[in-house]
Structure 1
Amino acid sequence: MASTQQGRVVEHALLPVKPGREAEFEAAFAQAKGIIAAMPGFRGLTLSRGVEHPQTYLLLVRWDTVDDHEIGFRGSPEYQQWRALLHEFYEPFPVVEHFDELERIETTN
């Protein structure tokens, strides 16, 4: 299941934050992002907040391989810190899926 191209696996998670706890979640995420960023195989992330549904966040994390996320990160002691900081905010718990990135277009404007 692991991708053979560096940084081409995208973890996708819609994070349904309990209403009224968005600011707390964002503060906790600001702490937690350093945990995930230090993990082997991590290549970057974006966190976006829903426009129509501001209690829903979209987390996209780029990994070298699915195993870097599923085994490396989730099996690490650091994941317990991540979990302690963030998991209390979700209702229901998010579904996480992985995608092989086929195309990426970025502009400088």
Structure 2
Amino acid sequence: MILEVAILNVIPGKEKQFELDFKIAGQYISSIEGYVRHSLRKCVEQENRYILLVDWKTIEDHTIGFRQSSQYLKWKELLHHYYDPFPVVEHFETIISNEK
């Protein structure tokens, strides 16, 4: 499994509308083959900063399956105008995991 991580800096004052639009956008990403789950978390110290965590079965499910899909165009239209600066997206694989 691959974890996609993006730090999202939203233009100040647009946080509430971003959150509403993100709820709508969730239907597009979750419809992609290889999608497992996602969560959006809001920073406690900086109210316009969020982190997006998406689990994918493979990196290609994100980089090809999602980014080259019509769903991505809808996602982009809903969300990309909120970011300043535009986020860097990185992918991580689990090396060590521990749960209680």
TM-score (norm 1): 0.88
Q: CA deviation at 1:46?
A: 1.1
1:69 aligns with 2:57: no
In the TM superposition, what whole-angstrom CA distance separates every residue of 1:21-73 from its partner, at most 9, and x where no partner exists? Answer: 00010000010001101100000011100000110000000000110000000
- Provide the alpha-carbon RMSD of the alignment: 0.9
TM-score where L is the length of structure 2: 0.95
Q: Distance in 2 between matches of 1:71 and 1:50?
A: 29
Task: Specify every segment of 5 or more residues in structure 2 that has no aligned partner in the other structure, as ranges.
Answer: none
Determine the C-alpha separation between the residues in 2 that align with 1:11 and 1:78.
17
Separation in 2, partners of 1:54, 1:104 = 30
Structure 1 stretches of at least 4 aligned residues deviating more than 2 Å after TM superposition: none
Partner of 1:47: 40
- Identity value in percent: 43
Partner of residue 24, structure 2: 31
The number of residues matched between the two structures is: 99
